[in-house]
Amino acid sequence: MTHTLFSPLDMHLHLRDEKMLETVAPLTAFSFAGALVMPNLVPPITTIEALLAYKSRILEATKDDTFEPLMTLFFRSDYTREFLEKASLHVTALKLYPSGITTNSEGGVASMDIEVLRPVFEVMSDLGLVLCVHGETNGFVMDREKEFASIYESFASAFPRLKIVMEHITTKESVALLDKYDNLYATITLHHLLITLDDVAGGMLKPHLFCKPIAKREEDKEALLHVSLNAHPKVMFGSDSAPHPISKKECCGCAAGVFTAPVALPALAQLFDKHHVLANLQAFVSDNAQKIYNYAPLKKEVILEKNPFLVPQSYSDVVPMFAGESLTWSIKDVL
């Protein structure tokens, strides 16, 4: 049994830089036609020059594959209209991080005051730039995304022309917002469709499943599954694949991030097939994103087959989700 996906897209991806970039970028480029690349490097991508240089390094690392990196800027409230007009020629979105909320976000936004953000939001609305948001407060870890819901609502209602993507949503409350505001959309990860906090810390701690936003409760996972499996038009796949070396994961002070890039499509095929909705996978991994971002991807066909795939224990110094386990689907060919 085979199933073909056309121009799959990963609309939330971390590629890091230098040696790590060289390791992980080809693993995405092999099976995806494009990906929205996050800007939280050290230092973050805040200039056009830095963005173009980073894109060049990504293209060099993925030169053997048909792949287009879609670039993002690290959101700052002091960007000028002139700067954003120039940047709009090169970027797909701006990524807003609350300060200190996740990996390499220390230079993020300290205040969600609409009047502070208004100048940049209005220019983005005029230019058609997408706002991607890591939506968490600094509250209790299980409540951070739920508490951010009111901020999403204030953004969406105050700037109705601004297309806002709620990144890597994990709660039933975030899912409910999709049908409440025309300009709110969301990415959903593979791992949040499969795990809850119990899988991470209910028994022995599993550091390679620790991520931010943290995995939530069963009812939250079920809400995510419902909209994903049914190809809700306002959700799209964003892996949030976040590689860290083993030394940063298997240690005190474990880094947050699940590395799913090389297993994403076989694992999604297995999940959608299990629920008898394999036909909906195309919309989730490509068609919805094309419409939301008004983007025409490079042509690429990924032929999946129902044939076991034994996931390697590691890729260089990075441990993937399902390491050492066998998935029921694999990638047969890429055209």
- Residues annotated catalytic, as ranges: 240
Enclosing H/E stretch for 15: none
Question: What are the strands, taking DSSP E only, across the chain?
Answer: 2-6, 9-13, 34-37, 68-74, 93-96, 130-133, 164-166, 184-188, 235-237, 301-305, 309-310, 326-327, 330-334
Residues 86/123, Cβ–Cβ less than 8 Å: no
What span, in angstroms and rounded, lies between the C-alpha atoms of 206 and 195?
12
**Cα angle at 15 between 10 and 17, to 5 degrees?**
160
Find out whether 98 and 64 touch, Cβ atoms under 8 Å. Answer: no
What torsion, rounded to 10 degrees, do the Cα atoms 18, 21, 26, 28 define? -170
Do the Cβ atoms of 182 and 174 come closer than 8 Å? no
Cβ atoms within 10 Å of 66's Cβ, excluding its own:
18
CA angle 245, 257, 275 (to 5 degrees): 125
Distance, CA of 48 to chain centre:
22
Q: Residue 105: CA atoms inside 13 Å, Cβ hemisphere, count? A: 22
